[in-house]
């Protein structure tokens, strides 16, 4: 599904990612763990060409997307949400959700999409007509996540950068439940510092430190793998 081969990424003269390779199989959930500053977000930005690569290649469904424009990468069926707030201040929550499908511009379809988002995050119900500028960080996070989770058609690959940021424990659980529901229906990458829920979801994982992947494994025993990850990043 996604093959990242020996990529380097730099900000000017400062190299952040060093010779990173990993592969995510179709229908699987892949976790990436690391401390703050390890290079997780930079790696994801490189995967969708928000940052140019110094070397290496990225293949999605055997198509070379290494230097493809980000909006074209998205059009191939990749949905992604990152740490930044990334909402449109003057649009309402409802208007954000109406953007998830180019064919959604009818009242009936908008209602269906909003209902699906509210089913995932019930806390969006009273916010549906509120402008994004008036949302808290956690509320904006729910909107960002919902826009990927209810996108039509379902993305072939979903990429989430620290999705638990700003969410209440109840909403982290709701996100976890939705990802469990999608397991096998699409391919998912989750980058997190919160180990406990992510390792339960993941089929495979990698640990990044100082811009290098230092450990990879399949999740066979959740408790054992959680301890391994903790030793590396805590």
**Tens of pLDDT along 21-64?**
999 999 999 999 999 899 999 999 999 999 989 999 999 999 99
Where does the pLDDT of residue 110 fall: very low under 50, low under 70, confident under 90, or very high at 90 and above?
Answer: confident
Reply yes or no on whether the pLDDT at 105 is more than 60: no
Q: What is the pLDDT of residue 162?
A: 93
Under 8 Å between Cβ of 70 and 48: yes
Task: Name every residue whose Cβ is closer than 8 Å to that of residue 99 and which is 6 or more positions away in sequence.
Answer: 147
Reply yes or no on whether the pLDDT at 103 is more than 90: no
Helix axes 169-182, 137-149, angle to 10 degrees: 10
Q: In whole angstroms, give the CA distance from residue 79 to residue 174.
A: 19
Question: Which parts of 34-134 are beta strand (E)?
Answer: 53-60, 63-64, 78-81
Output the average pLDDT for the chain.
92
Within a 10 A sphere around the Cβ of 85, how many other Cβ atoms? 14
Q: What is the pLDDT of residue 100?
A: 84
**Model pTM?**
0.93
Q: What is the pLDDT of residue 102?
A: 65
Question: What percent of the chain clears pLDDT 90, i.e. is strictly above it?
Answer: 82
Question: What percent of the chain clears pLDDT 70, i.e. is strictly above it?
Answer: 97
Domains and CATH numbers, the chain: 2-233 (3.40.50.300)
Where does the pLDDT of residue 168 fall: very low under 50, low under 70, confident under 90, or very high at 90 and above?
Answer: very high
**Tens of pLDDT along 58-94?**
999 999 999 999 999 999 999 998 877 788 999 999 9
């Amino acid at each position: 599904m996604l093959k990242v081969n020996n990529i380097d990424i730099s900000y000017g003269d400062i190299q952040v990612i060093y010779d990173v390779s990993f592969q995510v199989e179709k229908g699987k959930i892949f976790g990436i763990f690391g401390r703050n500053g390890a290079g997780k977000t930079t790696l994801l930005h490189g995967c969708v060409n928000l940052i140019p690569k110094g070397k290496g290649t990225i293949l999605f469904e055997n198509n070379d997307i290494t230097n493809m424009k980000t909006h074209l990468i998205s059009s191939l069926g990749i949905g992604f949400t990152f740490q930044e707030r990334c909402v449109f201040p003057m649009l309402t929550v409802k208007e954000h959700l109406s953007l998830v499908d180019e064919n959604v511009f009818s009242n009936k379809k908008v209602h269906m999409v909003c209902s699906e988002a509210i089913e995932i995050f019930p806390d969006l119900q009273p916010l549906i007509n509120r402008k994004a500028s008036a949302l808290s960080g956690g509320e904006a996070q729910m909107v960002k996540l919902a826009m990927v989770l209810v996108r039509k058609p379902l993305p072939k690959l979903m990429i989430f950068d620290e999705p638990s940021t700003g969410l209440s424990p109840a909403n982290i659980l709701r996100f976890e439940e939705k990802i469990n529901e999608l397991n096998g229906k699409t391919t998912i990458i989750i980058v997190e510092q919160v180990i406990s829920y992510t390792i339960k979801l993941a089929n495979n994982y990698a640990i990044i430190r100082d811009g290098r992947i230092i450990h990879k494994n399949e999740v066979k025993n959740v408790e054992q793998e959680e301890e391994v990850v903790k030793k590396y990043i805590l």
